[in-house]
Each structure stands twice: as C-alpha cells, then as structure tokens.
Chains A and B, each alone.
Chain A
Amino acid sequence: MPRVSFERIHKTYGSVAVLRDLDLAVEHGDFLVLLGPSGCGKTTLLNMLAGLQEVTAGRILIGERDVTDLDPKDRGLAMVFQSYALYPTKTVRGNLRFGLSAARLPAQEADRRVAWAAKLLQIEPLLERKPAQLSGGQRQRVAIGRALVKHAEVLLFDEPLSNLDAKLRTEMRLEIKRLHDELSPTVVYVTHDQIEAMTMATKIAVMNGGVIQQFGTPDEIYERPANLFVAGFIGAPAMNLKTARLATRDGQVAGVFGNGQQIDLQDYPFARPPQGGAEVVVGLRPEYFGAPDAPARDAAAAWELPVAHTERTGSDATGYLRWGEGLLSLRVEPSQAARLKAGQTVRVTFPKGKANLFDAATGTRL
C-alpha cells in the first residue's frame, strides 16, 4: 500500500484557477479525508488522482510511480462514486466482474474475488439482481464491492454517503471504517460532512478556495485549527469566534472583548510574544464551557450573560446567551437546558488553556 503525493499541483479551467500550487502527501494505509465546502476543489483533486481530469501543472505520485499522465485504468486505483454509478444492465455479479475481466484476470480468480467481496459486504443474496432492484444502501455496498475486488492499492471515495438517509449513513460509515481497519488500503475520501471526516479519517485536509487550509489528524484539526476558516468550519455547533483586543500588564495577558468582558490568556502558547492592543479573534468551543451557574475554580473567564434561547438535539442541548449584538453558544446537559429560561441571567465559566487565538487581520492562528 503505497503513499500518495501531490506535488505543486495547478489546475485551471480556461482562465479560472481552481487549485494553486498544492502539495499534499499521505503515507500508506492512511485514511485521508479531503474536507471542504462545495466548490473548494476537493473533487477536482480526487478526479485528477483518478485520472478523470487532467492536471494543468505538477506531478502526482503513487508510491514511487509518477502517474500524472497514465490512463485511469493503469494507475492501480479503484473508486466509489456518489451516485454509485453501477452499470444498470449488468447484474451485481456482472458489475463486480466487469473491471476484472477487462483486466484479463483468469475467470477462476475473478470468481474467487467476487465471492470474497460479496461475503465481506454481505451482498451474497443480491449477486444475481440488477441495480434497479436494490435499495440505496445495497447499491452503495455493491459499489464498494466493485472497488474492493480490484485489490487496488489506493481506494478513492467521492462523497459516497451523501445520497443515503441519516441512519444508513451511520451504518455505512462504520462499515467503511471496518473495511479500512481490516484491509488497511490507502484511502482518499472526499466529503463535505465533518462528522464523516472526524470519525473515519486518520488525516484530514481541510480545503477552501482551492487551497489546503490545514492538514493534520482529526484531533489537531479540532483542537488547534490553523486559521479562522478551519475554526469556523469544523465543529457543530460552531466555535464561538469573538473579536477582542489584547491587554498586557505585568506579564499578564488578557483579551478584552467589545462588550467589556475579559478572558485570561495567560496559558495560551503564543508563537510570538503578544503585543498589547493587538486585535485578535478568540475562539471558544461550546463544549468547554462549565455548567451554567456551577462554581468553577481557576477559570480563564467567568461571565454573567442573559439567556437568549436553548436548542435540544436529542443527546445534547445548546444554550445561546446574548453577547452584545450576537450570540454565544455553549453546550449544556439536556437536563439543565430546561432550567435556562430566556431573559434570565446565568454565570458561565471557560477553563484555562482551551481558547484559540487568531490574528484578526490575517485569520491565522497566533
């Protein structure tokens, strides 16, 4: 299972540059998720790796092989598509076998692989059916089977779960994760769903506007977002991003917000010594807030804020507090959510060492 690397990739459509000078490499056995909003270039990048779109400039390597100009079938890849893309006139077996017979694999070996994949994905009873006779989840299993039978070194997924309903999506997510654990191929997976990215990936590349905003493990991306885009994109409910001014006195550092509230930033690992008066954006994850009105020792911030409203989402609840013109969201226990009445003022605390700081002008992490 080789490593996959993109070197100085450029892609332009006419005069429009979609990807600019992009470098990215994943080690063998990694599960790389390309994550980003629609139109960020993630699918283009995947299609270029697959050979379905041409690279304007740059190189793509699989292992030591330069595959930039190879035909798709010669790259040793298999791909699962968003719409499954099963061949409608072939049976499930025919779908699985087409790639194998096209590769001139002996019939016996092809049969063995089809049986193996069918058993692995539990689609054995469906082998003689046509795609039109399958449900969405079954079609997706067949599509994954069609990719697996090729024993490809690298598996590509192009938003494979976005056509499924929520329950099936969770099931298939676990299924794909299980397959990766069992077979450990190198996977490149494109999605705009951060939950898929966080649960399955070993590495995430967050993309926006044709540029990789951050590349790292799910934990790094979540805990230490590299810039404001990543901070705002990852996490639901989203991270609270509030503008503040740095105040330094006697070696102490604090952030002073527009509404007069303060936060102690003494424990923040500044890359460079903080400048007093610098404008920054403070990022606070909703789930790190202490329980409302609960005593907290050693908190970085303790604020009295009026409740705007609360939202209950099954196992979780989110409280929204008034913060100047805007809102501050924090995760609360569902049992406590009922206590938060609109208009009532509560005391919330934020622990030390959990805040994220970004330069307000450039948006990059401090």
Chain B
Amino acid sequence: MTDIASAATVGATIDSRPIVRRRRKRITGRSLAVLAFLTICALFFCVPLYVVLTTSLKTMDEIRQGNIFALPQDWTLEAWRFAWFEACSGINCNGLRVGFWNSVLILVPSLLLSIALSVVTGYALALWEVRWAGTFLFLLFLCAFVPFQIIMYPLIAMTRSIGVYGTIWGVAVVHAVLAMPVLTLIFRNYYKDIPQEIMSAAVMDSGSFWRIFGEIILPMSGNILIVVLILQLTSIWNDYLIGVTFGGFNTQPMTVNLANMVTVSTGTASYNVDMAAALLTAIPPLLIYFFVGKFFVAGITAGAIKG
C-alpha cells in the first residue's frame, strides 16, 4: 500500500514540473513575430473603425480642423440623429430609417423563402431517391457559379413580367432565387451525413416525406440552419447590386440609401453624418455575429449526428 502511495506522490511531483517550467518560459523571437503580426492585423481593422466612430461623434466644425485621430471635444449624437431621421437620399429627406425598414422587409421574406425551399430540396436530394438527382445537383453546382451580372438583364425582364420589378418583393424574390443553388448544396451535403439506417427506420415507421422531415430531420438541423441563417442574413443585408437594380424609388435597401446619401455632388459633405450612417448600416449584421457567432463556428464544424 505505502509503496503505491509513494509512487503516486512521485508521479504527482513529476507531473507538476513541466507546468512550472512552462510558466517561466521566455518570450522567444518567434512568438514576438507572431505578436507583432497580430497587432498589425488588429490595427489594420481598428484604426479605421476608431476614426469612423470618433468622427461620427464630432461636430462638423471640429472635423474641419483636420485632426482625424483626435477624440471629440464635444461629444454629440447629433450626426446619428440626423442620419437616421433627416439625411437626404436624392430628393427624399427622411433619413436612413426608410432604407432600414426596406432592408428588413426584403430580408424576412427572402430569408424564409430561400431557406424553406432549399432545406426541403436538400433533404429530398440527400435522403430520398429522386430521379435525375445527379444531373440536378450538377446543374445546381453550375448555377452557383454563374455571375449575377450575366443574368441581370433577363432577371429584370422576368421580374417585370410577373409585376414585382421595382418593389420590395422584387428584391426579396431575386435574393431568394439567387441563394437557392448554394443553400441547397449546403443542406444536401449536411443531410448526406445522416446514417442511411436512420432514414430506413423512419421510412418503415412512417413513410411520410413531410412527417419524417418535420419530426426527425428538421430537429437534427439546428446547427446548419444557424450557419445558413447567418450567411444569408449578412449577404442580403450587405448586398448593394441587387438592391440598386431591382429596388424602385423609395423601396431600396439600406445600403443603396447609404450610398445615395454619401455620394452627394452638391453642397458640403457632412462627414460625421456619413460615418454615423455607415455605422448604422453595419450594426445589424454585427449584432447577429455577437449573439449567434459561436453557434456559427459550432455549426460549421459539427456534423448532423452527435453521440
């Protein structure tokens, strides 16, 4: 007994030694280089952000002094208020909030439409026997790589013929359609990892396409749904080209609204308002990243089956 006990304590002291050593480790040249690189990277993103943030909190008088790195002398949210309520985009002077609500109205239906259609298509392609599934997948794969500019004009003609061109629905539908190939491939590849035997068991238990989808498959899709949600949310929110092409007067998304505000050709440029507007536009995707970002990483790395 005592032998074993003393052996255990010896083992313990041996184990603790490397930990002490590690703590006393010097900073080597290699880790210095890594630190320097990371610092430069951080500055590369932080300095512009700092300038944007401080400028948006300054008055125009202060900005004209030209000290762009100085902190504001009079902290003011006036530029933010002005950008949100009064800034002009073209002849329309109701501020960014118009674009914000347009963006929300575009986002919700296109998110629902694209995810709902692609999740079901991906499920069918991965887990059911679909005739010509291989050909269909190949076509989807091709579609995912067709540049938007090539099909822009035909799309305008098509949306006009169904009467949604120049409306919020036009932008939403185009977003949904363009996202479908990639999203379907993502869902299909995710569902391909679900063991065939689970599907066989479900087919023998129920046999219903929708019931198996709703009760078995969808509950297993939490991770991938969050990944796709974030992907879609940011890409739709940050899109400019589709919004400017398919959005009509007063139905353009926030990005287009912002661009119109900033690129004035007459009068003075109000840098503080521009900066505040840019930040306002960037806030929604940022918030999403903060709140569900950790699920994003988990969703990309985790498969469908746990345990």
Q: Do A and B bind each other?
A: yes
User: Which A residues have a C-beta under 8 Å from some C-beta of B?
Assistant: 47, 50-52, 71-74, 77-79, 81-90, 98-99, 102-103, 130-133, 146, 150
Residues on A with C-beta less than 8 A from B203 are 52, 72-73
27 contacts between A and B (CB under 8 A): A50-B200, A52-B203, A72-B204, A72-B207, A73-B204, A73-B205, A77-B204, A81-B201, A83-B197, A85-B200, A85-B201, A87-B201, A87-B202, A88-B305, A90-B215, A90-B216, A90-B219, A98-B202, A98-B205, A98-B215, A99-B206, A102-B205, A102-B206, A102-B211, A130-B307, A146-B205, A150-B205
Q: Is the CB of A99 within 8 A of B205?
A: yes
Q: Is the CB of B206 within 8 A of A83?
A: no
Q: CA–CA, A247 to B307, complex, Å?
A: 64
User: Which B residues have a C-beta under 8 Å from some C-beta of A?
Assistant: 195, 197-198, 200-208, 211, 215-216, 219-220, 305-307
Q: CA–CA, A102 to B205, complex, Å?
A: 7
Q: Is the CB of B305 within 8 A of A85?
A: no
Q: CA–CA, A71 to B129, complex, Å?
A: 14
**Residue of A with least CB distance to B199:** A85
**Shortest CB distance B299–A (Å):** 15
Q: CA–CA, A102 to B214, complex, Å?
A: 12
Q: Is the CB of B307 within 8 A of A73?
A: no
Q: Is the CB of B207 within 8 A of A87?
A: no
Question: Which of B208, B305, B306, B307 is within 8 Å of A102, CB to CB?
Answer: B208
Q: A132-B306, A132-B307 in contact; A85/B197 too (CB < 8 A)?
A: yes
**Shortest CB distance A111–B (Å):** 17
Q: CA–CA, A98 to B217, complex, Å?
A: 13
**Shortest CB distance A137–B (Å):** 15
Q: CA–CA, A209 to B206, complex, Å?
A: 33
Q: Is the CB of A88 within 8 A of B220?
A: yes
- Beyond A82-B197, A88-B307, 16 extra complex contacts between A and B, CB < 8 Å: A52-B200, A72-B204, A73-B206, A77-B204, A81-B197, A85-B195, A86-B198, A87-B198, A87-B201, A87-B202, A87-B215, A88-B305, A88-B306, A98-B215, A130-B307, A132-B306
Question: Which of A73, A79, A130, A133 is within 8 Å of B207, CB to CB?
Answer: A73
**Shortest CB distance B33–A (Å):** 44
Q: CA–CA, A146 to B204, complex, Å?
A: 11
The winner among B201, B207, B220, B305 for most chain A CB atoms within 10 A is B201
Q: Is the CB of B216 within 8 A of A87?
A: yes
**Residue of B with least CB distance to A150:** B205
Q: Is the CB of B198 within 8 A of A85?
A: yes
**Shortest CB distance B231–A (Å):** 23
Residues on B with C-beta less than 8 A from A52 are 200, 203-204
Residues on A with C-beta less than 8 A from B198 are 85-88
**Shortest CB distance B130–A (Å):** 15
Q: CA–CA, A51 to B203, complex, Å?
A: 9
Residues on B with C-beta less than 8 A from A131 are 307
**Residue of A with least CB distance to B200:** A52
**Shortest CB distance B198–A (Å):** 5
Q: A50-B200, A85-B198, A89-B216 in contact; A98/B307 too (CB < 8 A)?
A: no
The winner among B200, B216, B220 for most chain A CB atoms within 10 A is B200
The winner among B197, B200, B205, B220 for most chain A CB atoms within 10 A is B205
Q: A88-B307, A89-B219 in contact; A71/B197 too (CB < 8 A)?
A: no
Q: Is the CB of A78 within 8 A of B220?
A: no
Q: CA–CA, A126 to B201, complex, Å?
A: 20
Top 9 closest pairs, chain A to chain B, by CB: A132-B307, A102-B206, A99-B205, A85-B197, A73-B207, A89-B219, A85-B201, A81-B197, A72-B204
